[in-house]
Structure 1
Amino acid sequence: MQHPQHGAKLLETLGPIFEGLRGRVTPDAPMDKITWFRAGGTADLLFQPADWDDLAAFLKALPEDVPLMVVGIGSNLLVRDGGIRGAVVRLSAKGFGDIEQVGETRLKAGAASPDKRVAAAALDASIGGLHFYHGIPGGIGGALRMNAGANGVETKDRVVEVHALDRQGNVHVLSNADMGYSYRHSGAADDLIFTHAIFEGYAADQTVIRAEMDAVQHHRETVQPIREKTGGSTFKNPPDSSAWKEIDRAGCRGLTIGGAQMSPMHCNFMINTGQASGYDLEFLGETVRARVAQTSGVRLHWEIRRLGEFADGRVVKPFLGAE
């Protein structure tokens, strides 16, 4: 069960901290409007800061006892039906989406920049090595957090430094090594909000870069359900295998629960076929994990980020409680 008045009450309590801020605050914000799954509950407060200074001021003023979460463009995100307590920060493209060339082979990109726009900017600047972002349906903030990659290249291969604010509004500049990257994971502190980063590629001919981007796009269109309501890859690839192979082996290609389905086209993509709830999607995911573990002994790990509370009586246990 959702609690639609939580946000109004929290906003009444926190009202003074928003005086002087230029961003947009929305109480009881429906998260299904901003997630690519188009499912899930409400956030008590959704704050979209106008720019870096606005975000820093908000963080400095926000009481420590108010939970805080950060979301990007919503591509790799599943919000549970009970909603998200506390405040959610969403960086807008207007305030955090700038991309500029800062060296012969370097780009500076805001955390709200879509990955595809970074790839396009690199093409315009004749910078090679960033073409893989053309095939990742997300934003730079998420790419930095999860070391997003495609076609044999990962974010860690191109990041020079990352700029961030912590929970208290303090500035941090992290080197590539500071980010502690591994497969689909960053070791950076969870409370850091990435604001922008500098990437380095190499000088390349635009014709070559365009061909690489076209190859990425062709691959996506051929094997991925890119026109569906999906969050991208559902599970990380296990060692020495692929998540989709294990899912297929367990007989879960096309498996449907409620309005949620493992795509018949690419069975590591979970899709909302129309009216899926957050519960449908997560229950489907855990059903797949349980069946894969039973079939091959492989324990799949979620790549999709799941946030918020379960609705009353609609709790989904990991591996359906079989752990």
Structure 2
Amino acid sequence: MVMLAHKADFLGKLPHIRGRLVEDAPLSRLSWFRTGGTADLLFEPADADDLIAFLRALPTDVPVTVIGVGSNLLVRDGGVAGVVIRLGRGFAGIETRGDIVKAGAGAMDVHVARKAQEAGLAGLEFLVGVPGTIGGAVRMNAGAYGREVKDVLLHARAVDRLGHVHELDLVDMGYSYRHADVADDLIFIDAAFKGTTDDKATIAARMDEITTARADSQPIGTRTGGSTFKNPEGGKRAWELIDEAGCRGFAIGDAMVSDKHCNFLINRGKATAAEIEAVGETVRARVKEASGVELEWEIKRIGREAGEGAA
């Protein structure tokens, strides 16, 4: 166990929680890459009140890392120090009222899009092309097929490291391409989006187009982390730069640049997180050499290298 020295003392003093708390929890099963080490502690709160109570009891020197369904995540092989918080079923509610869609941070993006369609609300169709949950989408201004969260977000709620609740309007988010200018310690718990009334069949058709385009162009069904690098401002897209640098199909062990879409890395079976990251860094170096463009990771990488000591 590589938790902080006062872990046992903290666990003994922890107030009653209704969620699930696991020591030495394997994170590979929670990552779409299916790689990575363990979390010193994994906490899956029952609801927002449970999360707040836990954070208020947690010593301030214990690091906290938040994950969703692991769709755009690489967990390093040495695991994650401190507490990993995962928002699950207690945060997966979705409801519509008028032209507003409210969703918990643990709700899958695709489910939010479908709920909006069922209510005859357009504008959120792009979410069927965004793997992951609403919490991550709000945090990174996720987008696909010409739309992004900033185009539909009304407001969101988040809890900080000390357990204080914050309400943020769109302007508070400071959105730019795949980025929100908000404090790193904020854990988003829910958000509200504005749709526009439209014919349900028409909305469904647009969603089907996105789903088909995604299946045709991306390695759906593989062990992947989604789009690996952000598209640079202006000029060519990341996949074009990677292709022109001769990296399509490049592999280290079972970690490989997808032949189908070369801005996707895939685990062909037994790749380690280190191998996946090494493939990504090799791609960045070759693209830099070939084009002068320095690609920026879009996938979130967390944790320690194998053999690295506790933080």
Partner Cα separation in structure 2 for residue 49 and residue 296 of structure 1: 46
Shift in Å, 1:12: 1.7
Q: 1:177 aligns with which of 171, 174, 185?
A: 171
Q: Which runs of 5+ in 1 are unaligned?
A: 314-323
Contact kept in structure 1, 2:4 and 2:82, CA below 8 Å: no
Aligned amino acid, residue 250 of structure 2: L
Q: Does 1:118 align with 2:108?
A: no
Residues 283-305 of structure 1, C-alpha deviation per residue, up to 9 Å, x if partnerless?
A: 00000000000011010000000
Residues 121-157 of structure 1, C-alpha deviation per residue, up to 9 Å, x if partnerless?
A: 0011000000000111111011001100011000000
Contact kept in structure 2, 1:17 and 1:62, CA below 8 Å: no
Q: 1:286 aligns with which of 262, 281, 284?
A: 281
Q: Does 1:186 align with 2:165?
A: no
Q: Does 1:206 align with 2:203?
A: no
Q: What corresponds to 1:53 in structure 2? A: 49
Q: Does 1:243 align with 2:243?
A: no
Q: What corresponds to 1:133 in structure 2? A: 127
Shift in Å, 1:11: 4.4
Q: What corresponds to 1:262 in structure 2? A: 257
Contact kept in structure 2, 1:44 and 1:84, CA below 8 Å: yes
Partner Cα separation in structure 2 for residue 10 and residue 266 of structure 1: 46
Q: What corresponds to 2:63 in structure 1? A: 67
Aligned amino acid, residue 87 of structure 1: V
Structure 1 residues 62 and 260, CA, compared in 2 at 3 Å: closer, same or farther?
same
Q: What corresponds to 1:319 in structure 2? A: none
Aligned amino acid, residue 91 of structure 1: L
Contact kept in structure 2, 1:7 and 1:27, CA below 8 Å: no
Q: Does 1:309 align with 2:299?
A: no
Residues 44-67 of structure 1, C-alpha deviation per residue, up to 9 Å, x if partnerless?
A: 000000111100000111100101
TM-score (ref. length: structure 1): 0.93
Partner Cα separation in structure 2 for residue 15 and residue 150 of structure 1: 42
SS in 2 for 1:6: coil
SS in 2 for 1:300: coil
Contact kept in structure 2, 1:244 and 1:268, CA below 8 Å: yes
Aligned amino acid, residue 264 of structure 2: F
Shift in Å, 1:311: 1.5
SS in 1 for 2:179: coil
Partner Cα separation in structure 2 for residue 196 and residue 222 of structure 1: 32
Contact kept in structure 2, 1:47 and 1:90, CA below 8 Å: yes
Which deviates further from its counterpart, 241-250 or 12-21?
A: 12-21
Q: 2:31 aligns with which of 35, 41, 50?
A: 35
Shift in Å, 1:17: 4.2
Q: Moved runs in structure 1, 4+ residues, more than 6 A?
A: none
Partner Cα separation in structure 2 for residue 290 and residue 200 of structure 1: 41
Q: What corresponds to 1:44 in structure 2? A: 40
Q: Does 1:95 align with 2:90?
A: yes
Shift in Å, 1:19: 3.4
Contact kept in structure 1, 2:4 and 2:62, CA below 8 Å: no
Structure 1 residues 263 and 10, CA, compared in 2 at 3 Å: closer, same or farther?
farther
CA RMSD, 1 decimal:
1.2
Q: What corresponds to 2:209 in structure 1? A: 215
TM-score (ref. length: structure 2): 0.97
Residues 166-222 of structure 1, C-alpha deviation per residue, up to 9 Å, x if partnerless?
A: 001001000001001000001111100000000001001001100110000010110
Partner Cα separation in structure 1 for residue 70 and residue 297 of structure 2: 16
Q: Does 1:142 align with 2:136?
A: yes
Q: How many residue pairs are counted as aligned between the two chains?
A: 307
Contact kept in structure 2, 1:126 and 1:204, CA below 8 Å: yes
Partner Cα separation in structure 2 for residue 79 and residue 105 of structure 1: 38
Partner Cα separation in structure 1 for residue 112 and residue 254 of structure 2: 34
Identity over aligned pairs, percent:
53
